[in-house]
């Protein structure tokens, strides 16, 4: 299984005094040269007037943008602790038991405009940079990362199931090959995207607000269960194990959202199958 996650928008800085970033120690060191280029460009852009606008964030995040100028020296922590948004909290990525943590290190990749991809144990500093941003020399980051990520991830995904919890911005940086045989003779991957629906009065609509949380619950379950998913049908079986459980409790209303159904739908030949998770 290869489990793909988006980064959280907000990041939790590592404790003061923690060791700084070591680019060469990150997963997939083939990406080091590109990481170094983006890191340098990001520092330059973040030091200029209008940096928040250039990076597509509000002026209220100016302090976080300023932090981009000193990332080489900033304290670093495991990515599972730096990324602390809704999805990561629901998955419990930073608090997995030993066996699940080892599985996560081998099978989870967080996509990033700065690093390309990182594994949960990779030590990184907190930063601000989205995959949709364009930098002066690198250009649009999804386009910049695409050939390099294909080179390292196509082989990793070959013959495996790819469970995709990313948003469209990050999907643009790499799509699994789902048909044909690779140039090196490797088989295609099974690609499963995760969609969350809500059923109200018999009508189903796509969920946006609580979708990250629900994907996080699924991710955590996939990592903790005894048997690793190796096919799309295995992923469906894992999701169906959660049917009947309360996935979340809405803040404010206090209403429980229960997973009532999980379905696996076929997609286009070169696209993903869709795992639908239905809440009610």
User: Cα-Cα-Cα-Cα dihedral of 237, 240, 242, 248, to 10°?
Assistant: 120
CA distances from 1 to 31, 89, 230 (A): 22, 21, 5
Mean predicted confidence (pLDDT) in 6-21: 95
Domain ranges of the chain: 2-279
Kindly state the DSSP code that residue 11 receives in the 8-state scheme: B
* pLDDT attached to residue 95: 95
Summarised one tens digit per residue, pLDDT across range 164-206 is: 999 999 999 999 999 988 878 889 999 999 999 999 999 999 9
Q: pLDDT grade, residue 62 (50/70/90)?
A: very high
How far is the CA of 277 from the CAs of 182, 204, 243, 245, in angstroms?
A: 32, 11, 9, 12
**Which of 130, 174, 155 minimizes the C-alpha distance to 272?**
174
Q: Is 29 helix (H, G, I), strand (E, B) or coil?
A: helix
CA-to-CA distance for 122 and 21, rounded, in angstroms? 9
**24 in Cβ contact with 129 (< 8 Å):** no
224-270 pLDDT, tens digit per residue, is 999 999 999 999 999 999 999 999 888 777 889 999 999 999 988 88
Confidence of residue 131 (pLDDT cuts 50, 70, 90): very high
Residue 8, Ramachandran bin (φ over 0: left; ψ between -120 and 50: alpha; else beta):
beta
Question: If pLDDT is split at 50, 70 and 90, which confidence band does 209 have?
Answer: confident
Which residues make Cβ contacts (< 8 Å) with residue 206, sequence separation at least 6? Answer: 195, 196, 197
Task: Find where tokens 């060469």 sit.
Answer: 24
Give the rounded distance of the alpha carbon of 79 from its chain centre: 11
Residue 261 pLDDT: 97
Pairwise CA distance, residues 201 & 19, whole Å: 53
* Contact criterion met (CB below 8 Å) for 193 and 167: no
> Which residue from 177, 183, 140, 136 is spatially nearest to 157, judged by alpha carbons?
177
């Amino acid at each position: 299984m290869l489990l793909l996650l988006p980064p959280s928008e907000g990041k939790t800085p590592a404790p003061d005094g923690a060791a700084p970033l070591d680019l060469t120690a990150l997963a997939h060191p083939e990406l080091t040269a590109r990481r170094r280029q983006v890191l340098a460009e990001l520092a330059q852009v973040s030091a200029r007037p209008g940096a928040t606008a250039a990076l597509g964030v509000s002026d209220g995040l100016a302090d976080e943008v300023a932090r981009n100028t000193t990332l080489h020296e900033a304290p670093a922590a495991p990515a599972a602790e730096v990324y602390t948004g809704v999805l990561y909290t629901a998955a419990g990525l930073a608090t997995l038991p030993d066996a699940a943590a080892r599985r996560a290190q081998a099978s989870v990749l967080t996509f990033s405009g700065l690093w390309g991809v990182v594994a949960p144990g990779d030590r990184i500093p907190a930063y601000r940079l989205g995959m949709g941003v364009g930098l002066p020399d690198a250009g649009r980051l999804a386009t910049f990362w695409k050939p390099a990520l294909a080179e390292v991830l196509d082989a990793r995904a070959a013959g495996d199931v790819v469970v995709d919890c990313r948003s469209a911005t990050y999907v643009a940086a790499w799509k699994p090959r789902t048909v044909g045989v690779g140039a090196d003779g490797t088989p295609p991957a099974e690609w499963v995207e995760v969609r969350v629906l809500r059923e109200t009065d018999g009508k189903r609509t796509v969920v946006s607000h609580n979708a990250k949380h629900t994907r996080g619950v699924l991710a955590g379950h996939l990592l903790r269960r005894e048997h690793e998913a190796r096919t799309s049908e295995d992923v469906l079986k894992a999701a169906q194990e959660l049917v009947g459980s309360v996935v979340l409790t809405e803040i404010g209303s206090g209403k429980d959202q229960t997973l009532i159904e999980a379905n696996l739908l076929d997609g286009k030949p070169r696209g993903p199958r869709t795992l639908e998770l239905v809440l009610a």
